[in-house]
Amino acid sequence: MDPFLFAHLRGVSSASAVFDFSSLARGIAIRDQMVRALMLAQRLPPFLNSRFGGSIPRPVLIVGGGIAGITAGVALAESGIRVHVFEKDPMPFPLQRNCRSRWIDPHQYDWPLDHWRQESFPLDQSLIRSVCASWTAGRANTIVKNYWAPALPLPNMLRRPNFQPMCEFFGGREVLIRGLNFDQKSLIYSVGNCDSSAGGLGDKSSEAVLYGEYSSVVLFGGFGKEITSAGSHSDGLRSPKFWETDSFEELHSGKASAGAESPVLLSGTGDGALQDLLRITTRKKSARDVYLVLDAAGLAPDLARIQSAELRLERTLNWQDRRGSDLMVDRMREELHRVYLEEVQRVLAKAAATAVLEELAANAPQQLILVSRRQSFDCVYGLNHFLGLILSEYLRTTLRLERLVGSDVRDVTPVADAPGVFRVTLSGPDAGSVVRDTRLVVLRHGMDSQDLLTPEWPAPKVPRPFAPFHP
Residue-wise pLDDT for 50-60, tens only, equals: 888 878 878 89
With vertex at residue 14, the alpha carbon angle to CA 8 and CA 20, rounded to the nearest 5 degrees, is: 15
Closest CA to 355 of 297, 431, 268, 296: 297
Q: Say what the pLDDT of residue 257 is.
A: 41
Looking at the domain that runs over 226-293+356-447, which CATH code has it been given? Answer: 3.50.50.60
β-pairing, 17-20 with 216-219? parallel
Higher pLDDT, 316 or 452: 316
pLDDT reported for residue 433: 73
DSSP assignment string, 269-293 = -SHHHHHHHHHHHH--S-HHHHHHH
Of 214, 221, 207, which Cα lies nearest the Cα of 180?
Answer: 214
Q: Which of 45-49, 134-138, 315-319, 349-353 has the lowest mean pLDDT?
A: 315-319
CB distance 209 to 192 below 8 Å = no
125-129, 195-199, 423-427: the lowest-pLDDT one: 195-199
pLDDT at position 112 is 93
Taking alpha carbons only, the member of 357, 383, 363, 389 closest to residue 293 is 357
Residue 195: its pLDDT value, please? 43
Is residue 311 classed as helix, strand or coil in its secondary structure? helix
Mean per-residue pLDDT of the chain: 80
Please report the pLDDT score of residue 1 as a whole number.
Answer: 80
pTM of the model: 0.87
pLDDT score, position 429: 67
Task: Please determine, for residue 228, whether its predicted confidence score (pLDDT) is greater than 90.
Answer: no
- Compute the average pLDDT of residues 388-399: 95
Contacts of 424 (CB under 8 A, 6+ apart): 265, 409, 411, 412, 435, 436, 437, 438, 441
Residue 120: its H or E element: strand 120-121
pLDDT of residue 329: 79
Query: Which residue intervals of the chain bear CATH 3.50.50.60?
Result: 226-293+356-447
For residue range 62-84, list pLDDT tens digits in order: 989 999 999 999 889 888 899 98
DSSP run (H or E) holding 167: strand 165-171
Share of the chain above pLDDT 90, in %: 39
Percent above pLDDT 70 for the chain: 74
